[in-house]
Amino acid sequence: MIQLIDLTKSFQMGEETITAVNHVNFQAEKGEFISIVGPSGSGKSTLMNILGLLDTADSGTYLLNQEDVTTLSDNQQAVIRNAKIGFVFQSFHLLPRINALENVMVPLLYHGYSEKQAREKALFYLDKVNLLGREKHLPKQLSGGQQQRVAIARALSCDPEIILADEPTGALDSKTGTEIMGLMERLNEGGQTIVVITHDMSVAKRARRVVEMHDGNLKEGEDPQ
């Protein structure tokens, strides 16, 4: 479903050139639960931003369902982000001035659903992450774990092909983190394709496949089972 061929991305820092992603080949199939591990600064986030069409690679090919997405226009990429990709970030990235329900509605409204349809769907996904009753709360009125669950509901709202989560438990205490990972596992059991970035091995172990990054290089890890 996802195929990266010889993908490279580097940053210029003054005199120095940092190659954050170095000739990476990677493949993910529908229904997989993959975790990407590696030390800080190894290029995990950069790779995920490229996977999520938030950033572009310098060279290489990115095929999404056999379609080359590197050459698409801004607007076409926006449509793919909206319909096919769901993001979960370490710092939640909820819009602070609108409530939980409205946050989940945002991608649905960009998708073209009417306000009424969007509300119904958003409530459905808030129910799925066990947050019914909190939908009128502003993000700052929710705990970290609750905020991350709103973010997951939002990522799920347009029924994406893949969920990309960049250290989703990084800002949470370990008990809440375990809950969030449990939620991810259940979603995966329901057929949802998920890629999780983490540097916490106990988190990574819950995935069925682990890949490691080191200085921009990607290496298939041992089967955790």
Partner 1 sequence: MSLLLTIKLALTNIRTNKLRSGLTMLGLIIGIASVIILVGIGKGATESVTNEMSGLGADLLTVYIYDGQTTISYSDLDDFLGLPNIDAIAPYKSLSASVSRGNVKLEYFNLLATNENYLDVMGYDLGEGRPFSEIDIENSTKAVIIGNSIAEKLFNLTDPLGKTIKINGDDYTVVGTLTAGSSMSEADNILLVPLTTAKYLGSNTAVSQLYLKTDNAENVDGAAKEVKSYVETNYNIDSDSLNVYTNTGILESMKEVSAQLSLLLGGIAGISLIVGGIGIMNVMLVSVTERTREIGIRKSLGAKRRDISKQFLIESLVLSLLGGIIGILTGIGCGALINTIVAYLGYSHIFALSPGVVVLSFSVSAAVGLIFGSFPSYRAACLRPIDALKQE
- Binding residues (CB under 5 A) for Mg ion: these are 45
CA–CA distances in Å: residue 140 to residues 1, 8, 99, 125, 177 = 37, 38, 9, 20, 19
What CA dihedral angle connects 41, 47, 52 and 56, to 10 degrees?
110
Entry field: residues in the chain: 225
User: Judged by CB under 6 A, does residue 11 bind ligand ADP?
Assistant: yes
Which of partner 1, ligand ADP, Mg ion, none lies near 93, with the C-beta cut-off 5 to 8 A by kind? partner 1
Closest distance to ligand ADP from the beta carbon of 19 (Å): 8
Q: How far is CA 59 from the centre of its chain?
A: 22
Q: Tell which positions 47-76 bind partner 1, by CB under 8 A.
A: 49, 52-55, 74-75
Q: Choose the contact partner of 110 out of partner 1, Mg ion, ligand ADP, none; CB within 5 to 8 A by kind.
A: partner 1
Q: Which two tokens stand for residue 27?
A: 């493949």
CA–CA separation, 199 and 166 (whole Å): 10
Binding mask 96-125 for partner 1 (x = CB under 8 A): -xx-------xx-xxx--xx----------
> Of ligand ADP, Mg ion, partner 1, none, which one does residue 11 interact with (CB within 5 to 8 Å by kind)?
ligand ADP
Which parts of 42-165 fold into alpha helices (H)? 44-51, 74-84, 100-111, 115-128, 144-156
Site for ligand ADP in 14-73 (CB under 6 A): 18, 20, 38, 40-46
Shortest distance, CB of residue 116 to partner 1, whole angstroms?
11
Determine the residue with CB nearest ligand ADP.
45
- Which residues are near ligand ADP by CB under 6 A? 11, 13, 18, 20, 38, 40-46
- Which residues are near partner 1 by CB under 8 A? 49, 52-55, 74-75, 78-79, 81-83, 87, 93-95, 97-98, 106-107, 109-111, 114-115, 154, 158
